[in-house]
């Protein structure tokens, strides 16, 4: 609000100058602090303050206020007959006060300048309040606008129901002491970040909130706070996932994160390639969180997890009556739900060819057609896809459309497997140990050298997801503070045996057993899984059953 | 990974941060390490899990007053002499050395010994920060015998001390150091690789280097140092720390209470932070409420330069940023807190972490 003008005026006149908003909150205050008038900053004008009588009027008010031994002039800042606030100049010196009174015209010009801005531009002092209010009312979640002093200036309807109407105009910390707001704001400022996710302890319960800084140059002029019911699940609606959540300092993961960060700001399609459990979805969420679509939905769908017959209606939606059992009103597909945001298509290699053609149309025309629909609906989404399969090979085999592949893989990004970044193993172990022992209220743990050796020797076919589950298992099983071999999950049995007996585990038989166990881990132990495992191992199903029996593998 | 000149430069800052206000000024020991690396080549950093279980590791450190160390300038070979003395006592050669204390100047003592002795350094230490006493380390907490300890003075005099009790060793070693003029260079807690894996704070030297690199890069890019520092910690076994307060030092009591008071600025206005320290910052109180205690790192950064500050560098009127960073799990077990938790320093309060949810 024209702070430089005000500062300049204060400097020239060596008075206290003060600018208030229409409600009498002091928006800015400059100049020498008078004993009697000090402390304007961060306050609302007292109810009996003479400047209040100018608010809402169009008259100039001048007063030798003897009770406060202050000589002052107050001018309304008017725009189209509406009083936007008060410009006041105060001094303790009687002579200066009289001179002030004589300089009325020039000061009114200054007040006019507040409204119009230097050079007469008409937009400098638009009443921001109603505009801000209109903007925040567009949002369904509770939103609070807080000024630089920590005072609530605006709440939307949802915000009013959460914080109460009376909170407007009050300092957040005073209204909700111990909520953790001040610490959160401190973090926002202290860490120089543009937003932070925090827990707020409000009387109604604990809420997950995002604080976004409003900056003008280096100065933080306020903060916008959005709240949603507490959800610990990172990635729940509105939770902004960042690359900080992906732990690791190895060159491999740093390279992946750096590249993902670079492409986040563009709108190109990204194809994430990596084994199962490497964190492809985390990368997709982080890319979304760092893109301009961050405030819009992130919708993930696993193409392999949904039956072929349902996938089409899941992705593109359907019209009422499109098929037996369809909802009468129809249902929007994931693309429509994600409009404006990001769609994450996991296991894209498992998408049937028919749907691939339809997906290609969506990517090219930016329109989706519901199943049974007549009119296409235009959508604006970014598509991030992922696969653990070699898509190029699928293209060569004819199982994946070449044109779609090139559409999706504008930016291919390789997510390293855990065994390619064993340097990070220790950090990840410690990270999850801390997470799960806190979650289950257990005591802190450290790893024995035998456990460390087994974990470092292990190949981690299930990658970080497997590691996380392993640590959760350990935290549940180990009651002491030193994690021993006994608290490792059974699948480590072979490595443990090697560790305890000194058997190098290099015989053909053990290698065979290892390969079979791995295959079963990947494909499962159901009859169908065993069939797939046998195919992957290049042996007949009957041979697999025979070997299972011979090697004593329990499956 | 190797520690070369640029890593040493970064470690100067990182070790000061890990020192949590103490650990002594790093400049002189940094110079000694730099000279050693220039002459003998970069030092290999061994990850804890790379050590064979039966390897012998002999940690090294400076003991005594950093101030006196600046007056009685060492040649740089003292810690290696102590290490060789312990080797002779044990009749075995060490595979590597490691710092007992990665916070402050002692991060460099082990590096100097390693460069001069052609040994690798284990990436880890026994404190994950700085502490005032020899037995305040995870080695002692998890049952490693400190004995035999060799102490060497800058004059080249060596003493070997043996005792089955680590606190007694600390007393005897300190008396020896006093006899040597106030500063000595020790080799102690000889350990097997297995013991190193189970009883040390892993990864602290490489973390110190990464922290330093983050601060230097923030300085170059003119981005916020506290943010860079917290990001570096978040990608480590320490985890996500937080800014406690930004403000101005309004009171500083060094004699009896040993307390610094900081009044918050701007968005921290109306908040007061009190930090109690001995050599290191130990307890942080925000508006009278304990928010973070030892062994958590409580670190002051200079507001204008973004550089970490020792408690002795704090001055009334100085603008500072105060951060708190959690420490690895191995330092906050019940046994560990009994040895270097707030009660071990005579405070009547439980260990408290600034981060409520601890892990995010």
pLDDT averages per 10-residue partition of chain A, 555 residues: 54 59 64 47 66 68 63 73 73 71 70 55 52 80 83 84 79 77 77 74 70 76 74 43 87 94 91 92 91 85 86 87 74 89 92 90 89 87 93 92 93 94 93 89 91 92 93 91 91 80 63 82 82 85 86 74
Looking at residue B271, its pLDDT comes to 87
pLDDT at A85: 74
Q: Contact B267/A186, CB-based, under 8 Å?
A: yes
CA B200, B205, B211, B215 dihedral sign is positive
Tens-place pLDDT, residues B70-82: 999 999 999 999 9
Tell if the CB–CB gap between A446 and B47 is shorter than 8 Å. Answer: no
Please name the residue ranges forming H helices in A300-401.
Answer: 308-316, 334-337, 353-365, 391-397
pLDDT for the residue numbered A72: 75
Q: State residue B320 phi and psi, 5-degree precision.
A: -135, 160
* Neighboring chain A residues of B242 at a CB cutoff of 8 Å: 183, 187, 190
Q: Give the model's confidence band at B196: pLDDT under 50 very low, under 70 low, under 90 confident, else very high.
A: very high
Token pair 């404006």 in the structure block, residue: A340
> Pick from B89, B194, B199: which is nearest to B144 by CA?
B199
Closest-CA distance of chain B to residue A428, Å: 8
Compute the average pLDDT of residues B49-62: 94
Best residue in A214, A434, A446, A483 to probe B by mutation, most B CBs within 10 Å? A446
Residues of A in contact with B224 (CB under 8 A): 190-192
Verify whether the Cβ–Cβ distance A186 to B246 is below 8 Å.
yes
Question: Which residues have a Cβ under 8 Å from the Cβ of B277 and sit 6 or more positions away?
Answer: B21, B22, B258, B259, B260, B311
- Are A166 and A155 in contact, with CB atoms under 8 Å apart? no
Structure tokens at A515: 């390969």
Among B324, B122, B239, smallest CA distance to A428 is for: B239
For residue A151, give both structure tokens. Answer: 């005072």
Instruction: Provide, as residue numbers in chain B, all residues whose Cβ is less than 8 Å from the Cβ of A449.
Output: 53, 193-194, 197-198
Cα A522 to chain centroid, rounded: 32
CA distance A435 to chain B (A): 5
Q: Sorting pLDDT into bands at 50, 70 and 90, what band is B139?
A: very high
- Taking an 8 Å cut-off on Cβ atoms, the answer to whether B235 and A199 are in contact is no
With 0.90 as the threshold, say if the pTM is over it: no
Which of B194, B226, B358 faces A449 most closely, judged by CB atoms? Answer: B194
Q: List B183's β-bridge partners, or say none.
A: B64
A427 with B235: Cβ contact below 8 A: yes
Would you state the structure tokens that stand for residue B245, as one six-digit string? 């307060």
* DSSP-based helix, strand, coil % in chain A, nearest 5: 45, 20, 35
Question: Which residues share a beta bridge with A219?
Answer: A216
Whether A40 and A88 have beta carbons less than 8 Å apart is answered as no
| Pairing relationship of beta strands A367-368 and A377-378 according to DSSP bridges | antiparallel
First to last CA, chain B: 28
Residue B45: per-residue pLDDT: 95
pLDDT of residue A58: 62
Interface size between A and B, measured as CB pairs under 8 A: 113
Specify the pLDDT at position A255: 95
* Chain A interface, best mutation among B49, B222, B224, by max A CB count within 10 A: B49
Residue B6: pLDDT band (50, 70, 90) is: very high
Cα separation, B98 vs A349, in Å, equals: 49
Mean of pLDDT over chain B: 93
CA distance A503 to chain B (A): 17
Could you tell me if B30 and B108 are in contact, meaning their C-beta atoms sit under 8 angstroms apart? Answer: yes
Question: For residue A519, which of A489, A496, A497, A551 has the smallest C-alpha distance?
Answer: A551
């Amino acid at each position: 609000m024209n702070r430089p003008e005000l500062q300049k005026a204060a400097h020239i006149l060596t008075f206290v100058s003060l600018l208030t908003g229409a409600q009498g909150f002091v928006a800015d205050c400059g100049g020498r602090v008078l004993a009697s008038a000090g402390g304007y900053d961060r306050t609302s004008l007292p109810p009996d303050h003479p400047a209040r009588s100018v608010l809402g009027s169009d008259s100039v008010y001048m007063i030798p206020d003897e009770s406060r031994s202050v000589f002052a002039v107050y001018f309304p800042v008017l725009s189209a007959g509406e009083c936007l606030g008060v410009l006041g100049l105060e001094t303790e010196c009687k002579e200066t006060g009289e001179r002030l009174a004589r300089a009325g015209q020039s000061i009114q010009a200054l007040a006019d300048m507040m409204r119009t801005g230097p050079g007469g531009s008409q937009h400098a002092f638009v009443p921001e309040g109603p505009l801000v209010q209109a903007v925040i009312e567009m949002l369904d979640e509770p939103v609070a606008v807080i000024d630089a002093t920590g005072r609530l200036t605006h709440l939307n309807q949802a915000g009013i129901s959460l914080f109460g109407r009376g909170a407007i105009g009050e300092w957040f910390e005073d209204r909700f002491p111990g909520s953790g707001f001040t610490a959160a704001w401190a973090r926002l400022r202290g860490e120089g970040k543009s937003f932070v996710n925090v827990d707020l302890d409000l009387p109604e319960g604990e809420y997950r909130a995002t604080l976004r800084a409003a900056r003008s140059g280096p100065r933080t002029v306020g903060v916008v706070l959005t709240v949603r019911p507490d959800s610990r699940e990172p990635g729940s609606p509105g939770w902004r996932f960042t690359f900080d959540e992906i732990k690791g300092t190895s060159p491999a993961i740093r390279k992946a994160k750096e590249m993902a960060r670079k492409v986040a700001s563009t709108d190109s399609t990204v194809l994430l390639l990596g084994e199962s459990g490497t964190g492809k979805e985390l990368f997709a969420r982080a890319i979304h969180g760092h893109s301009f679509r961050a405030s819009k939905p992130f919708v993930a769908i696993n193409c392999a997890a949904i039956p072929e017959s349902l996938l089409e209606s899941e992705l593109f939606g359907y019209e009422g009556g499109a098929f037996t059992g369809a909802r009468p009103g129809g249902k929007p597909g994931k693309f429509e739900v994600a409009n404006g945001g990001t769609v994450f298509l996991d296991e894209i290699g498992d998408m049937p060819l028919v749907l691939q053609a339809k997906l290609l149309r969506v990517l090219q025309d930016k329109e989706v057609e519901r199943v049974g629909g007549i009119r296409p609906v235009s959508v604006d989404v970014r598509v991030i896809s992922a696969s653990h399969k070699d898509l190029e090979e699928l293209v060569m085999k004819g199982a994946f459309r070449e044109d779609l592949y090139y559409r999706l893989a504008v930016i291919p990004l390789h997510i390293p497997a855990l065994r390619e970044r064993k340097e990070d193993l220790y950090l990840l172990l410690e990270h999850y140990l801390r997470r799960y022992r806190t979650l289950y209220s257990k005591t802190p743990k450290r790893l024995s050298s035998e456990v460390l050796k087994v974990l470092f020797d292990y190949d981690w076919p299930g990658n970080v997801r497997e590691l996380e589950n392993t640590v959760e298992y350990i935290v549940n099983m180990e009651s002491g503070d030193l994690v021993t071999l006994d608290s490792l999950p059974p699948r480590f049995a072979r490595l443990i045996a090697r560790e305890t007996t000194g058997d190098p585990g290099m015989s053909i038989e053990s290698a065979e057993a290892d390969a079979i166990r791995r295959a079963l881990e990947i494909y499962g132990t159901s009859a169908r899984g065993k069939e797939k495992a046998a195919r992957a191992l290049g042996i007949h199903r009957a041979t697999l059953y025979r070997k299972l029996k011979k090697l004593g593998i329990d499956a | 990974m190797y520690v070369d000149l640029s890593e040493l430069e970064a470690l100067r800052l990182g070790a000061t941060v890990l020192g949590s206000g103490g650990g002594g000024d790093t400049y002189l020991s940094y110079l000694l390490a730099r000279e050693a690396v220039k002459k003998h080549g970069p030092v290999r950093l061994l990850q804890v899990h790379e050590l064979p279980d039966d390897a012998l590791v002999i940690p090294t450190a400076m003991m005594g007053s950093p101030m006196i160390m600046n007056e009685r300038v060492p040649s740089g070979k003292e810690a290696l002499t102590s290490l060789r003395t312990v080797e002779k006592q044990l009749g075995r050669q060490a595979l590597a050395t490691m710092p007992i204390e990665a916070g402050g100047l002692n991060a460099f003592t082990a590096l100097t010994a390693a460069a001069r002795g052609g040994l690798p350094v284990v990436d880890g230490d026994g404190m994950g920060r700085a502490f005032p006493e020899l037995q305040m380390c995870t080695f002692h907490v998890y049952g490693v015998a400190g004995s035999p300890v060799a102490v060497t003075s800058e004059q080249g005099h060596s003493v070997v001390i043996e005792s089955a009790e680590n606190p007694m060793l600390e007393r005897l070693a300190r008396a020896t150091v006093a006899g040597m003029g106030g500063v000595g260079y020790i080799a102690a807690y000889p350990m097997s690789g297995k013991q190193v894996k189970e009883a040390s704070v892993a990864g602290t030297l490489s973390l110190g280097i990464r922290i330093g690199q983050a601060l230097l890069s923030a300085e170059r890019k003119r981005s916020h140092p506290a943010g860079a520092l917290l990001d570096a910690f978040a990608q480590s076994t320490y985890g996500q720390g937080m800014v406690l307060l930004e403000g101005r030092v309004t009171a500083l009591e060094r004699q009896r209470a040993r307390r610094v008071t900081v009044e918050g600025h701007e968005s921290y206005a109306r908040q007061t932070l009190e930090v109690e320290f001995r050599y290191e910052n130990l307890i942080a109180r925000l508006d009278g409420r304990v928010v973070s205690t030892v062994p958590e790192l409580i670190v002051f950064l200079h507001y204008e330069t973004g550089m970490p500050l020792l408690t002795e560098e704090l001055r009334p009127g100085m603008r500072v940023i105060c951060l708190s960073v959690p420490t690895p799990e191995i330092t906050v077990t019940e046994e560990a807190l009994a040895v270097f938790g707030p009660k071990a320093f005579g405070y009547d309060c439980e260990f408290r972490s600034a981060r409520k949810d601890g892990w995010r």
